[in-house]
Structure 1
Amino acid sequence: MRFKMKRWINYLLGGCCISLLTSLSFAQTQEASLNRLISQQRLSAEAIGIWVERIGDSAPLATHQPERLFNPASTIKLATTLTNLIALGPDYTWRTEIRATAPIEQGVLRGDLILRGSGDPGAVSEEHWRMLRDLQRSTGLKRIEGDLILDTSYFNLPPGDPGAFDGQPYRAYNQLPHPLLFNANSIRFHILPERGSDKIRIEAEPPLPGMEIVNQLTRGSGSCDAWQRNIRYEVEGTRVIFSGAYPSQCGAYELLRTAVDPEFYAGELFRLHWQQWGGEWNGRVRTHSGPALNAQLLMVHHSRPLSDLIRVANKWSHNVMTRHMALTLGAERLGEPATLEKARVALNDVLSELGVNTSGMFIENGSGLSRSARISPQQMAQILQAGWRSPWRPEFISSLSIAGLDGTTRRQYRQDPKRGQMHLKTGLLNQVSGISGYLRSQCGEDWLVVLLINHPEAHQGLGTQLQQQLLEWVYQQPHREGRCQGLN
């Protein structure tokens, strides 16, 4: 143990902010001197929680404040995705039902068409387009003479404000759950300066028919690094207004934002794709959230399997996807409709069944977009341990960002020996930084690592720096048997 302590101290003294880690409880000796080093840093020891464990060992190699509760930011998605994987299975799919209030006769529905969603987290335009193709092929339906009814009864959620978290209601990460959400209710706006003219074209993807784009952009010559390239984005009802002097020398630009409510989005996407398939419909869009309607089932569209969707949710830290997964888990275990309380109970129950101590843990919505979510480094480590023991270990680990290759860590470690050797889940909010996951050391051993930081400056680079130093230290750990068959 003295040898390990000496190696650790020498490593810590070699770089900026590394002495923060010297309070890790490798041993009780020299604790006072290590704490003196920590007190000299901008991040206090009280702001940091750590758990480092070699897979197969009976105890962690290093811990710091392992039982203290921290805000985990998006690292809590590990809990949401693992519980879904364990309780529902990797082949689980979400259903979108299409029903009719009257029979289809000679390709005509003289009644209403009903779309009932169950919160498919990965519903995108391409799947919606194919769903309507399949509907026409299987039923022969070409003309709808009634209304489109959006059945939203699968979720029972209180009204919410997408801007409540940080005052940014049109940022895609703030989108609230909805049982009939397509493309996460977001729109990709393409800003396209035209060659040989002063015109700047704006195209929306998808091009919702009832949404109006007001283009007031002018050509400018500002910096390409300016916030949103000087584009001002405003929404008035179903009108989206773009203004500002766009630096046209920068070329094309994409802006991903929300703009309209999910019911309007679902109705207009239906109108767009129905017309593309040659269908006729001029009715209204209505919403139903009460008891099930008496209607004939025409078809069921199934989502991509859960094992595919958790890859998107974890690698790209997709908030509303994991919120849907939490709600689904609650409805599947405790019955419809899905509620936040059922989601929280179900998440805790499944984690407890996996051997995770949930005392004091609070998962507000499953995504980590929360100021009240709490978990300890030890509890997060227990989640990683459960994932490693699971028969679905390959599916779970492969859903995490591969350092230097994809997801939220794709830009880090590109020219580093650790590239491709770490599967990680990141978390970042104002005053919160975290990283948790699995690492293969240079000696070929597998480790699990948890680092949670809650500090006013955690999100301003200090958290990332500390993550890098800790991961490097773990990567360089010697083999438990003193040999090394790793990459060096």
Structure 2
Amino acid sequence: MRRIALVCLWLVSSTLCVNAMAQEPWPGAPDELRRVLDGYNVKPGDVGIFVQALDESEPLLDINSSAAFNPASTIKLLTTWLALTELGPEWTWPTDVYVDGEIVRGVLRGDLIIKGYGDPYLITERLWSLQRQLRLRGIRKIAGDLVIDNSYFSGEAGDPAAFDGEGLRAYNVLPDAFLVNFQALSLYFEPDPARNRIRVSADPMPANLTIDNRLRAQPGRCGGFRNGVRLELEGNSRNKLIVSGNYGIDCERYVLTRSVLRAPTYAYGVFRSLWEESDGELGGTLRVQPTALLGRADDEEPFLRIESPPLSDLIRYINKFSNNVMSRHMFLSLGADVFGEPANRDKARRATQLILRQQQLNFPELRIDNGSGLSRDARISAGSLGEVLRAASFSPWWAEYTASMSLAGLDGTLRKRFRDEAATGRMHLKTGRLSDVYATAGYVHALSGKDYAVVILQNYKDANRGPGEEAQAALLRWVYEQ
């Protein structure tokens, strides 16, 4: 009888233990992380976590790591790793210039043709350098048109407002094979108390854009002034920017970055402005047309070619500062490299799967979409993103890859996080944030000397408004203390 009672007691206690384990929402999680997640009533299915030392075969912490989540901008870690793996750190993007006519006494008697290949970093200074090389080659005046060939990217035209209705925001800029200065305009608002007005200027100022300043100066506080400033494009060519609303006369100078012109129109306007600032002349206007339509041979040598900085430099801008359009350019370039031009998203997605198979990685849940994370459709699991980090650590380009991420408390998107504490500078991370999405992935260099791959993906209401950051901080500090 006593034996039966003991057996029954053992069975009951075992069942209770199994039930308790089944009900444990955060198995193995540190206390502070539990407190944060439980305090915000976060459901276990809304978070995926993966933590593993790079020299260990089993994870230190694994919570829901096989479930697919929206990773926001942390997907850039996959895009840049794919680019390093397939293209290499020395890869550059060319921009070719052709002349359609003779050059006589400084005058190009014809068109200047520029063919872009998706250079993600053709900033204003580099466009100025291109023009300087044209002048050194004897061109002072272009009698014909500026012809832009952006056909290397195919099917990427669309509505920049499609993602969130904010079509003028710089983060919504769409890829273009000849993209100048990220298609971005810096608008400067500068109060002039002596004249009771607000001056508005732009840099760069495209020659084909006019700014109609209707801002009203008013007394009062400066906080949240942007809610009172409105930007509107007008005209058949949408090349008139109306700035209206109210701005405090006692406010400081402020800079607002926006994208107000489409890529070829913007590129032409900036090219013309820079050219004329250096006493150059451009007699014609803009034409967007593939060079193949102009009867030029595919193997014709360009009049001038410039190369972008190497890929190893450019992935820093993508991961440290979360540059969406640069990431999308890099993603499209993968597709063209593997499957040939023109580049498009379908080729890039197929290239992604091919490279993953070559690296013996299988992510059945992966939906990389456009490669930037600015998407409601992108999906990956914490475990898969962790495997990317682990695979990268065995790559000859691991140093370049790690250096592309933000250093906690020092630079990039993490320059204001983990400052003045022991973990400052001991974490290389990529963050991601969308409405109801907060994600972090990267490497933590722990007190023990071990390096850990860490991923936390959070998809729940208001995750981006505070709870996600608290949970992230609790996890990262715990890993650092290992």
TM-score, with length taken from structure 1: 0.89
**How far apart are 1:417 and its partner, in Å?**
1.2
CA offsets per residue over residues 167-187 of structure 1, 9 Å max, x none?
100000011111111111110
1:371 is matched with which residue?
Answer: 376
Q: Specify the SS of the correspondent of 1:250.
A: coil
2:266 is matched with which residue?
Answer: 265
1:484 is matched with which residue?
Answer: none
User: Conserved in 2, the CA contact under 8 Å of 1:400 and 1:425?
Assistant: yes
Distance 2:56 2:155 in 1: 44
1:52-451 pair list within 5 angstroms: 52-137=51-136, 139-226=137-224, 228=226, 230-236=228-234, 237-289=238-290, 291=292, 293-295=294-296, 297-451=302-456
**How far apart are 1:235 and its partner, in Å?**
1.7
Distance 2:128 2:207 in 1: 15
The verdict on how the C-alpha distance between 1:439 and 1:328 changes in structure 2, with shifts beyond 3 A counting, is same
**How far apart are 1:278 and its partner, in Å?**
2.5
User: Conserved in 2, the CA contact under 8 Å of 1:22 and 1:35?
Assistant: no
Q: Specify the SS of the correspondent of 1:43.
A: coil
Amino acid at match of 2:98: R
Q: Specify the SS of the correspondent of 1:57.
A: coil
User: Conserved in 1, the CA contact under 8 Å of 2:408 and 2:417?
Assistant: yes
**How far apart are 1:280 and its partner, in Å?**
1.7
1:5 is matched with which residue?
Answer: none
**How far apart are 1:386 and its partner, in Å?**
1.5
**How far apart are 1:40 and its partner, in Å?**
6.8
**How far apart are 1:443 and its partner, in Å?**
2.3
Distance 1:196 1:25 in 2: 65
Distance 2:49 2:254 in 1: 40
Amino acid at match of 1:253: Y
Amino acid at match of 1:422: M
The verdict on how the C-alpha distance between 1:290 and 1:112 changes in structure 2, with shifts beyond 3 A counting, is closer
Structure 2 residue ranges without an equivalent (≥5): 1-22
Amino acid at match of 1:398: A
Which is further off, 216-225 or 357-366? 216-225
1:480 is matched with which residue?
Answer: none
Amino acid at match of 1:343: A
Distance 2:109 2:197 in 1: 46
**How far apart are 1:442 and its partner, in Å?**
2.0
TM-score, with length taken from structure 2: 0.90
**How far apart are 1:24 and its partner, in Å?**
4.2
The verdict on how the C-alpha distance between 1:244 and 1:100 changes in structure 2, with shifts beyond 3 A counting, is same
Amino acid at match of 2:257: L
**How far apart are 1:35 and its partner, in Å?**
9.8
**How far apart are 1:292 and its partner, in Å?**
5.8
C-alpha RMSD of matched pairs (Å): 2.0
Amino acid at match of 1:341: D
User: Conserved in 2, the CA contact under 8 Å of 1:200 and 1:217?
Assistant: yes
Q: Specify the SS of the correspondent of 2:127.
A: helix
Identity %: 41
Which is further off, 222-231 or 161-170? 222-231
Which is further off, 152-161 or 248-257? 152-161
The verdict on how the C-alpha distance between 1:427 and 1:22 changes in structure 2, with shifts beyond 3 A counting, is farther
Distance 1:466 1:401 in 2: 19
Distance 1:427 1:354 in 2: 25
User: Conserved in 2, the CA contact under 8 Å of 1:439 and 1:449?
Assistant: yes
Distance 1:119 1:364 in 2: 18
CA offsets per residue over residues 367-395 of structure 1, 9 Å max, x none?
00111111011110011011111111111
**How far apart are 1:37 and its partner, in Å?**
11
Distance 2:193 2:396 in 1: 56
The verdict on how the C-alpha distance between 1:227 and 1:218 changes in structure 2, with shifts beyond 3 A counting, is closer
Structure 1 residue ranges without an equivalent (≥5): 1-20, 28-33, 478-488
User: Conserved in 2, the CA contact under 8 Å of 1:22 and 1:37?
Assistant: no
The verdict on how the C-alpha distance between 1:411 and 1:35 changes in structure 2, with shifts beyond 3 A counting, is closer
Distance 2:85 2:138 in 1: 40
**How far apart are 1:354 and its partner, in Å?**
2.5
The verdict on how the C-alpha distance between 1:223 and 1:42 changes in structure 2, with shifts beyond 3 A counting, is farther
